[in-house]
Chain A
Amino acid sequence: GAGVSQSPRYKVAKRGQDVALRCDPISGHVSLFWYQQALGQGPEFLTYFQNEAQLDKSGLPSDRFFAERPEGSVSTLKIQRTQQEDSAVYLCASSSRTGARGTEAFFGQGTRLTVV
């Protein structure tokens, strides 16, 4: 597709339930990022992939959060045993290049997760 696609757009989970959020980046983009955005706040970095390699996962808030990108394209962010504080919008972004000269990131519409 033309842009970054995320699914589902909305997810309501009961506390303790596991969820999986999907991101389809722009075709050919090497870098893929996950961000978490709480209501009224700016996005906060979670994790970053270059192709299939997860190069930085310093932003993952706990070991309940796990991300993968096994073939270097589609990525899944999994949250186990969801808690109310996990409620947020989860944004995925991709960009075409890595290295010293940064480029713009293209964001998906996000998945709004509500834990009840």
Chain B
Amino acid sequence: SQQGEEDPQALSIQEGENATMNCSYKTSINNLQWYRQNSGRGLVHLILIRSNEREKHSGRLRVTLDTSKKSSSLLITASRAADTASYFCATDANQGGKLIFGQGTELSVKP
């Protein structure tokens, strides 16, 4: 069974707008990671945030982590059509690196 939930399940925006995806999880974690998956392809790692961190940036990506609420958010600024993909959060509960994934958010960025 999966660790938690992501919302929204689907998000459609115009190019240039920001996209925000949220993830909730259930157990204590060592770190939380966000991955991207294009249709029919493997997952690509985007960013990792450790349990003692609250915010992290990488290019147009901003991730926040609230361990008291067991939630995280991924913000993509100035979105591009090429950002169209499914985005998954995954938690690492310090079990050898095993990841527990959410259901994913399907992002569509219209040009």
In chain A, what residue has the closest Cβ to B101? A42
Tell me the chain A residues, 25-49 only, with Cβ under 8 Å from chain B.
Answer: 31, 33, 35, 41-45, 48
Q: Do A106 and B103 form a contact, CB below 8 Å, given A48-B96, A56-B96, A101-B30?
A: no
CB of A84 within 8 A of chain B? no
B27 within 8 Å of A (CB atoms): no
Least CB separation from A104: chain B residue? B45
B42 touching A107 by the CB < 8 A rule?
yes
A105-B45 contact, Cβ under 8 Å, with A50-B96, A56-B95, A100-B94: yes
Q: Is A21 an interface residue (CB 8 A)?
A: no
B96 touches A106 (CB 8 A): no
Minimum distance in angstroms from B38 CB to a CB of chain A = 10
Q: How far is the CA of A55 from the CA of B99 in the complex (A)?
A: 14
Q: Which residues of A contact B (CB under 8 A)?
A: 4, 31, 33, 35, 41-45, 48, 50, 55-56, 91, 93, 95, 97-98, 100-110, 112
- Residue pairs across A and B with Cβ atoms less than 8 A apart, 8 shown, are A33-B98, A33-B99, A43-B88, A44-B1, A48-B97, A48-B98, A103-B48, A107-B42
